[in-house]
Amino acid sequence: MINTGLIGLIREKSKVVRAAKNLLKKSYLLFLIFILLLSIISIKANITKIGYSLAENNKTLKKTKLENKLLRTKMSALKSNYRIKKIAESNGMIFPRKKDIKSVKYE
């Protein structure tokens, strides 16, 4: 004789196990999707952060280049022969005349 009560319990247990496995498969899938979405959001946030940093660096670069140009212009004005001549004349210096120049022969 076959015990039918035991068969019913086995069938109920296998249905519960199957339902639990299906739920786990779905939850793994949901967990995986959730992790992937978080990864995508994190990557996009990092890209945006890098973009802001790049824009800030470009602004600093432009400012530095402009400052460099102004300094070069100022340096050119300070090196000008007219300015040097004017300062020398104000300090009593004059250009030498031909008779004031002595040539030395190097032997």
Instruction: Look at residue 72 and tell me whether its pLDDT is greater than 60.
Output: yes
Spatial separation of the C-alpha atoms in residues 45 and 70, rounded to whole Å: 38
At 53-71, the pLDDT tens digits run 999 999 999 999 999 999 9
Closest CA to 11 of 57, 26, 3, 62: 3
**Confidence (pLDDT) at 35:** 94
* Model pTM score: 0.52
**Band (50; pLDDT cuts 50, 70, 90):** very high
Percent of the chain with pLDDT over 90: 51
Spatial separation of the C-alpha atoms in residues 99 and 107, rounded to whole Å: 23
| Cβ–Cβ < 8 Å for 83, 77 | yes
